[in-house]
Amino acid sequence: MTIAESNEELVERVPFETYTEGNVDAIDELVSEEHVLHDPMSSEPIRGREGLKDHVESLREAAPDLSGTSRRRSST
């Protein structure tokens, strides 16, 4: 697997596994502690793994039927 393919897989795994599947534990494996998310719906940037976990959990609580697709998963 090339670096580009590896990066593409990572970019797809983060939102699919966390937001769609609700697996916030995957954040520890997939996201740097220095991660910063600039969400236009948040008044402040979302920082670090714990901040992202809280963000995902609150979105999933507000929209429990939240779902998305992954090109990689849907093509297999």
pLDDT digits (tens, 9 = 90+) for 7-61: 888 888 888 999 999 999 999 999 999 999 999 989 999 999 999 999 999 999 9
pLDDT, position 10: 84
Which residue has better confidence, 70 or 17? 17
Question: Of 35, 36, 19, 18, nearest to 27 (Cα)?
Answer: 18
Tokens at residue 24, please?
């916030």
* Cα end-to-end span (Å), the chain: 17
